[in-house]
Amino acid sequence: MRVAPLGVAKRGTAVGSSTTSTPGGRPMDIISRAKWGARAPRSRSTVSWSQRREFIVHYSEGPTTQSVRSIQDFHMDGRGWADIGYNFLVDVSGRIYEGRGWLVVGAHAPDHNTSGIGVCMIGRDGDSTAAAKRSIRWLYDEAVRRAGRNLAKLGHRDVYATSCPGNELYAWVRAGMPADVGDDDMPEYVSVGMGEAQDFPPNTWVTIDWGREYSDGGRHHGDGGGPSFVVGPARYAFTANVRVEGLAAGTELQARAIEHPESGGSAAAGPLAEYVASNGATFVHYNVAADTVPDGHRVRFQVMHFGAETARITSGTAKAFAWPT
């Protein structure tokens, strides 16, 4: 499924997130609606904390690569709802996204949308990770702090005839949503940068070469150079940022991840994002929240533009987390 475009930002553009903390004081960052590109709701109604009695866990029953915006589009356009159905969403890397928010009535569980806070893990049965579970528990603890009392811990199937949130995640909910869920959320970290500028001809996918290595304890970047920065088999998440010069304002660009086979052959293309060049230098920010690269493949990053002249990619960085499988 295509990732919703993240846009082109000039250096220094502020990002949108709110920070609260758990009762233990651990900070919790929630990616705001503005940051993930939410549509305005058609309508909304609010409740008080005295009306909140339940915390209901869901899964999206789609790929872990689903964007929050694509889920919102399906809920609003496919189901005719006023907004995305959930109050919050969590991806398998543990990122938390604001849905309707704490005190807005959701559309996630009939007869329980006023009493229940609906939290959705983006993924299918078996996709849940320690990082996702800890973030869901994080949200529960924060809800308890705000409500001033415990809330019932429920899976969607506890209040509706459904298989949601899948057997694996539901078993964790039934066990009381324990916060101690192991260490599979401790990834290998990779940080790389471009060593020199690259030509950027039109209508051609250009693979970024990462000539500088800042961190790579898991040896994903090979011998400290080259275009690959995550080696399979692994789950991974990454962000890449490149600076492009020499494009006319309004020129369309695209970016994507690819999983390149070590034995040769065609690469598998990942989520595609689209951008528009700005006046002066253009900054492309690309993000994959969660994906899986198979054995014998390596993750690389590519960009392409549809202008008339050859431009230059003058600098760039990529940061990745990899969970070997």
Q: Is residue 84 part of a domain?
A: yes
Instruction: Let me know whether 148 and 225 are in one domain.
Output: no
For residue 22, the model assigns a pLDDT of 39
For residue 119, give its domain range: 30-175
Instruction: Let me know whether 153 and 281 are in one domain.
Output: no
Q: Is residue 20 part of a domain?
A: no
User: What's the total number of domains in the chain?
Assistant: 2
Instruction: Let me know whether 137 and 52 are in one domain.
Output: yes
Q: CB within 8 A of 306, min separation 6: which ones?
A: 202, 203, 251, 252, 253
Q: Is residue 14 part of a domain?
A: no
Q: Is residue 302 part of a domain?
A: yes
Instruction: Let me know whether 169 and 194 are in one domain.
Output: no
For residue 180, the model assigns a pLDDT of 75
The predicted model scores a pTM of 0.54
Cα torsion for 47, 141, 73, 3, to the nearest 10°? 160
Strand ranges inside 2-91, DSSP E: 17-21, 27-31, 54-59, 88-90
CATH number of residue 166's parent domain: 3.40.80.10
In the numeric block, which tokens belong to residue 39? Answer: 């549509």
**In this structure, is the dihedral angle defined by the CA atoms of residues 160, 164, 168 and 174, taken in order, positive or negative?**
negative
For residue 26, the model assigns a pLDDT of 45
For residue 81, the model assigns a pLDDT of 97
User: What DSSP string describes 6-29?
Assistant: --B--TTPPP-EEEEE-TT--EEE
Instruction: Let me know whether 257 and 220 are in one domain.
Output: yes
DSSP 156: G
Q: Mean pLDDT for each consecutive 10-residue tract of the chain (325 residues)?
A: 30 36 52 94 97 97 91 97 97 93 97 97 88 93 96 95 91 88 66 95 97 82 80 90 96 96 86 93 90 91 97 95 84
For residue 127, the model assigns a pLDDT of 85
Instruction: Let me know whether 276 and 161 are in one domain.
Output: no
Instruction: Let me know whether 77 and 162 are in one domain.
Output: yes
- What is residue 293's three-state secondary structure? strand
For residue 183, the model assigns a pLDDT of 53
For residue 35, the model assigns a pLDDT of 92
Nearest-5° angle of CA 282, CA 288, CA 291?
Answer: 155
